[in-house]
Amino acid sequence: MIIRSKAPLRLGLAGGGTDVAPYSELYGGTILNATISMYAYATIVPRDDGRITLNSADKNEKYTFESTLALPLDGKLDLVKGIYNRVVRDFTKKPLSFELTTYVDAPPGSGLGTSSTLVVAILGAFAEWQGLPLGEYDLAHLAYEIERIDLGMAGGKQDQYAATFGGVNFMEFSKEDKVIVNPLRIHKKYLDELSHNLILYHTETSRLSSIIIEQQSKNVTNRNVKTIEAMHRLKEQAVMMKEALLKGELSKIGEILDFGWQFKKNMAAGITNSFIDEIYAAAIQYGATGGKISGAGGGGFMFFYCPGTTRSAVIEALKRFGGQAKRYEFTSQGLSTWTI
């Protein structure tokens, strides 16, 4: 028997950062994101020899342990171990024996929600294997708790819900720690045009998002006026983006992205740097009307809205920075699991 799962990565189109505590707890957050055809994968092969093998194929890391109620968190694939430990603690109440293999289509620190999406994929595989009673909201919330509370990894809430639900979603994070996922029915031709015009560009750099997120959270805790005002504006941006997509007013997408980018840079130090600014300026010079860094900032992927026939010129202009444009499509399905 083989149990498999996959969960899609996402583009955070608007409102990024407002899902991060303490801002979301004080003011409520609003996010608009969309999943794309890049995935995190998990495969479980049950075994009966009382051993556990964890294999991260993209990181080229593989470890084998004696089956136990809790695996040690020692810096070696702790994300995977944390999921196993929670599944055993909350559900199976007994050790499991298996080999788990994972792979992600984008590298860590890319800004596409790789870590959280991987948690959702692995958790989904365990749910498929063990028949865990987890609906979509339950699974996304559990993924959040494992990553943010059990493992103490800094970050927000949008990625777990995007990976679980899939599609284009307008998400609301209330002060009462509630999450509402509102799927948007975007006309197919609008999504096709959006994916054609929205260039996903990998800068061939990465960053540790937790450092930026911790600084952002600290700024909110300290009542930094500039940071809090910027995040208020990003919530407005999410509403603007939702209306533009639903109405098919795609000519506004670039300026809405640029509106958000100008405020996002005020949230914390390290979100941008001279290299990122240079890339952004070149994209605008050759026809893009707006864009942003994907995720917390500092490196990884950027994306730019290139209307009309400007796409090719922008891609060509960005080649000199050593990165590459990545092909993708928007997807409508979130986490999927199956057994062979």
- Cα–Cα distance, 222 to 209 (Å, whole number): 20
Please say if 150 is a catalytic residue.
Answer: no
Q: What CA–CA distances, in Å, run from 282 to 59, 154, 163, 287, 318?
A: 33, 32, 32, 9, 7
Q: Are 117 and 159 in contact (CB under 8 A)?
A: yes
Cis amide leading into 72 (omega within 30): no
The tokens describing 282, both together, are 């070149």
**3-class SS at 172?**
strand
Phi first, then psi: what are they for 213, rounded to 5°?
-65, -40
Q: Residues near 22 by Cβ (< 8 Å), separated by ≥ 6?
A: 217, 220, 221
Q: Which residue is catalytic, options 49, 90, 150, 159?
A: 159
The tokens describing 243, both together, are 């209306």
The tokens describing 146, both together, are 């494992």
113: left (phi over 0), alpha (psi -120 to 50) or beta: left
| Type of residue at 213 | I
* Strands in the chain per DSSP E: 3-14, 29-46, 51-56, 61-66, 98-104, 168-173, 179-183, 198-202, 290-293, 301-305, 324-326, 336-339
The tokens describing 9, both together, are 């990565």
216: left (phi over 0), alpha (psi -120 to 50) or beta: alpha
Active site residues: 159
